[in-house]
Amino acid sequence: MTDNFTALFNTYSWEETRQSIYDKTALDVEHALGNNRRTLEDFKALISPAAAPYLEQMAQLSRQITLRRFGKVMQLYVPLYLSNECNNICTYCGFSLDNKVRRKTLSPMEIMQEVAVLKEMGYDHVLLVTGEANQTVHTEYFKKVLELLRPHFALISMEVQPLNKEDYEELIPLGLNTVLVYQETYHREDYKKHHPKGKKSNFEYRLETPDRLGKAEVHKMGLGVLIGLEDWRTDSFFTALHLSYLEKKYWKTRYSLSFPRLRPFSGGLEPKVEMSDRELVQLICAYRLFNEEVELSISTRESIVFRDHIIGLGITSMSAGSKTNPGGYAVEPESLEQFEISDERTPGEIETMLKEKGYEAVWKDWDQGLVCK
């Protein structure tokens, strides 16, 4: 096995991969549905246009597998935006360097004000989010934040700039449990167009972040692409390829996937590719049929109707009551948000909705005791 994913990735052509997905037939889909263990070729069939008429069958199978493996529980998490400072230009993000807005990084006292609100909501799992501003929000800042938060949360996840293996090795003993790093798109040329300036424009450095995390032995990592930047089927295939590679190589680590669809933000980028709700359901079911272990997560980007309907089909974790701006819960509710959210219900309302569907809300991670509120 190669030392990092880039070597494997470079053996694939985007265009040939895309074509092979669109060439899949009804027979390929039926074959994939009939298999017990599904290959990457089966996954291609399940995300192909040819699978659209099989959505009901895919949804039923996905539901059975998810219930068998995860039961009727839903993990709830909440993002805590620490900073909207960012040195990168990303064409789709409100925090982009060229977006002329007031910047803010929370001080320790402000962080604790936000924490008080999150604890009041019942949370035991927090996802720390920042832009990529290496002079302000760096490993030393993260160390201080982890020290502050550790006594208050059973589970701390992070979605910040990609770091070096040594940085992760410093943060993990301080309580960092999960790191999310989305490739945004696996289309190398389009990646460059959407990330013209800053450290993030280095495609390979980002692509190899999961390898650095695996080598640092992080407990869990989250992968995904930003749906709307490029052909979602091809991007999802590469995500599945990446996941398979990582699972084999870093088998002690657990994995999760997210499906963020491009949302409006101040400055706005129109999606190049629209993905319908039906297609998102198809994708979620396809991932579940392909991989029975992976955790599948849905954020408040999606609408209330969609989120309520997707429960029971494959999703195992969701955010609730989210604010996407630093200080959004207590300190500075009007600061710049990264993107608009769609589902504005409180965590209590989400918990009630889950109960009505026969599900139990879990406010912390599975393996640390499955303690419910």
Please report, as residue ranges, which positions from 96 to 125 form the binding site for ligand SF4 (by CB under 6 A).
96
Please report, as residue ranges, which positions from 125 to 154 form the binding site for ligand SF4 (by CB under 6 A).
131-132
Q: Work out how close the CB of 114 gets to ligand SF4 at its nearest, in angstroms, rounded to a whole number.
A: 18
Q: Work out how close the CB of 287 gets to ligand SF4 at its nearest, in angstroms, rounded to a whole number.
A: 23
Surface-to-core class of residue 371, CB atoms within 10 Å of its CB (0-12 exposed, 13-18 middle, 19+ buried): exposed
Q: Work out how close the CB of 17 gets to ligand SF4 at its nearest, in angstroms, rounded to a whole number.
A: 25
For ligand SF4, give the closer residue by CB, 124 or 184: 184
For ligand SF4, give the closer residue by CB, 113 or 202: 202
- To the nearest 10 degrees (0 to 180), the angle between helices 277-290 and 232-249 is 20
For ligand SF4, give the closer residue by CB, 44 or 200: 200
Q: Work out how close the CB of 206 gets to ligand SF4 at its nearest, in angstroms, rounded to a whole number.
A: 10
Three-state helix/strand/coil letters over the chain: CCCCHHHHHCCCCHHHHHHHHHCCCHHHHHHHHHCCCCCHHHHHHHHCHHHHHHHHHHHHHHHHHHHHHHCCEEEEEEEEECECCCCCECCCCCCCCCCCCCCCECCHHHHHHHHHHHHHHCCCEEEEECCCCCCCCCHHHHHHHHHHHCCCCCEEEEECCCCCHHHHHHHHHHCEEEEECCCECCCHHHHHHHCCECHHHCHHHHHCHHHHHHHCCCCEEEEEECECCCCHHHHHHHHHHHHHHHHHHCCCCEEEEECCECCCCCCCCCCCCCCCHHHHHHHHHHHHHHCCCCEEEECCCCCHHHHHHHCCCCCCEEECCCCCCCCCCCCCCCCCCCCCCCCCCCHHHHHHHHHHCCCEEECCCHHHCCCEC
Q: Work out how close the CB of 90 gets to ligand SF4 at its nearest, in angstroms, rounded to a whole number.
A: 3
For ligand SF4, give the closer residue by CB, 103 or 215: 103
For ligand SF4, give the closer residue by CB, 72 or 197: 197
Q: Work out how close the CB of 160 gets to ligand SF4 at its nearest, in angstroms, rounded to a whole number.
A: 9
For ligand SF4, give the closer residue by CB, 265 or 363: 265
For ligand SF4, give the closer residue by CB, 125 or 200: 200
Q: Work out how close the CB of 220 gets to ligand SF4 at its nearest, in angstroms, rounded to a whole number.
A: 21
For ligand SF4, give the closer residue by CB, 131 or 314: 131
Tokens representing residue 68 in the block: 């068998």
Query: x/- contact string, 56-95, with ligand SF4 (CB under 6 A)?
Result: ------------------------------x-x-x--x-x
Residue among 178, 266, 154, 280 nearest 227 (CA)? 280
Is residue 181 close enough to count as binding ligand SF4 by CB under 6 A? no
Q: Work out how close the CB of 93 gets to ligand SF4 at its nearest, in angstroms, rounded to a whole number.
A: 3
Cα angle for residues 181, 244, 306 (degrees, 5° grid)? 60
Query: x/- contact string, 197-236, with ligand SF4 (CB under 6 A)?
Result: ---x------------------------------------
Q: Work out how close the CB of 135 gets to ligand SF4 at its nearest, in angstroms, rounded to a whole number.
A: 14
Binding-site size for ligand SF4 (CB under 6 A) equals 9
For ligand SF4, give the closer residue by CB, 87 or 342: 87
Q: Which residues contact ligand SF4 by CB under 6 A?
A: 86, 88, 90, 93, 95-96, 131-132, 200
